[in-house]
Amino acid sequence: MTSFTVAIDGPAAAGKGTLSRAVAERFGFAHLDTGLLYRAVGAKGGDPVRAAQTLSAADLGRGDLRSAGAGEAASKVAAIPEVRAALVRFQQDFARQPGGAVLDGRDIGTVICPDAEVKLYVTASDEVRAHRRWLELRAQGDVITEAQVLDDLRARDARDTARATAPLRPAADAVLIDTTELSIDTAVEKACEAIKRRMGQGRG
């Protein structure tokens, strides 16, 4: 197979990361959680543009990139056009590697890979997303209430959707997957069905 790109977008804690990893494994595609790029830039501190330009594999391997603080920092640096520009080429090159690739983030189908063969937009209710994120943070040892997580999540949604550069929104031709009441297995099957239709064969 030559290149085949699956773009998966959606807000925080909608399930796109879990879905993306499962889809990549199912089809043997490479996977990139593009949110880690921005989390790593935010976590590095200092000048965010310089941090984006010098991002390394070691930066992506930090153990604190899933923390609430890293998530907040990511949303803030992602609003800086120069940071986004520095990371665009890396993502686009990854997307077109031979053998297929799955990228998940907030602007993959709209900005990074507008010509992706498959575009998915994964969402869920605010309350369900906040509960999922709270469980994840609690497991990491973060001391935070579910109400605080909900407030933070809504603030981040507002910031991500209102930013002038690459706002969070579904691509016009994206397949919507609402995971509010779906099991992960059902959500994965819906995603795989969309990919199989595009491939024109029953691979899976």
Annotated binding site: 10-18
How much is the CA Rg of the chain, to the nearest whole Å? 16
Task: Report helix, strand or coil for 130.
Answer: helix
Rounded-to-integer distance, Cα 31 and Cα 104, Å: 8
- List of residues 6+ apart from 181 with CB closer than 8 A: none
Binding site listing for ATP = 10-18
Contact 187, 179 (CB under 8 A): yes
92, β-bridge pairs: none
Left if phi > 0, otherwise alpha if psi is -120 to 50, otherwise beta: which for 45? left
User: Which residues does residue 7 pair with via DSSP β-bridges, in sequence order?
Assistant: 103, 119
